[in-house]
Amino acid sequence: MSNREADAAVAEIAGVAPLESAIRRLIGELRDLRGAAEEARERAERSEALLRDFAEGRQDPATLSLRMEKVEAENDDLRGRIDRGRERIDQILASIRFLEDRR
């Protein structure tokens, strides 16, 4: 193999690496897009089913509104409990640090 042939082979190999990298990236993006498309399709099906239920009178908007208010109140309560828990954890950590510093 001549130097020119060797140089051409090296250049060809060097050119393959970026192509392989680009192909891997594109395959990953395609996989992500397919996943997103499947999620969108599932959401659309759920939305269509819910819309049919409303149109056919199987779901009462007033009942759903009451349920939503209840869930929002529960969320507010849970957020408050989480905040109080975080405050308590901070107090405990401060006590632990204080005790460690006294050693």
pLDDT in tens, 40-81: 999 999 889 888 887 887 778 788 889 899 999 999 999 999
pLDDT band at 2; cut points 50, 70, 90: low
What per-residue confidence (pLDDT) applies to 42? Answer: 93
pLDDT band at 11; cut points 50, 70, 90: low
Phi, psi of 60 (to 5 degrees): -95, 120
Residues 64, 49 within the same domain: no
pLDDT above 80: residue 15 = no
Look at the pTM and tell me if it is higher than 0.85.
no
Residues 50, 5 within the same domain: yes
Residues 6, 29 within the same domain: yes
pLDDT band at 6; cut points 50, 70, 90: low
Exposure string for 11-31, b = 16+ CB within 10 A, e = fewer? eeeeeeeeeeeeeeeeeeeee
The SS3 of residue 103 is coil
**For the chain, what is the domain count?**
2
Residues 48, 11 within the same domain: yes
Residues 22, 67 within the same domain: no
Residues 4, 52 within the same domain: yes
Give me the domain span that covers residue 83. 60-103
